[in-house]
Amino acid sequence: MKLIFVYGTLKRHGSNHRFLAGQQFVGEARTVPGYVLYSLGDYPGMVRSPDPTHFVTGEVWQVDPTGVAELDKLEGTHEGLYERVSISLESPFEASSVETYLYLRTVEGRSVVGSTWQI
């Protein structure tokens, strides 16, 4: 089982939330500073940010190996769209091993969303 931080369409009530069916919601969370969201159209991409005031809000889910494999397919990890990486979250998850999906392609010309993707 892995703890996965989701910040966009996978969140509860999001258009891709069905991919978390059967997985366990752990709680709402926020990254440590150093991340920001960009709009990629109908979904966001989270990238690293040098701005210490940038952070991202989302949810933590406990996901089984089959679910992680499905999320990897959805996020296009094999095509180089996103990469699943370990990140640090703020309290109460700071001591937990949590992974998320970082967007790998250019965000040039994309709009900054900020910290929260609105469903």
Do the beta carbons of residue 16 and residue 76 sit within 8 Å? no
Cα(49)–Cα(77) distance, rounded to whole angstroms? Answer: 21
All residues at 6 or more sequence positions from 67 whose CB lies less than 8 Å from its CB, including other chains: 19, 20, 22, 23
Residue 57 is encoded by which pair of tokens?
């809000």
Give SS3 for 94: coil
Beta bridge partners of 63: 2
User: Active-site residue numbers?
Assistant: 75
Cα angle, residue 28 at apex, residues 25 and 34 outer, rounded to 5°: 125
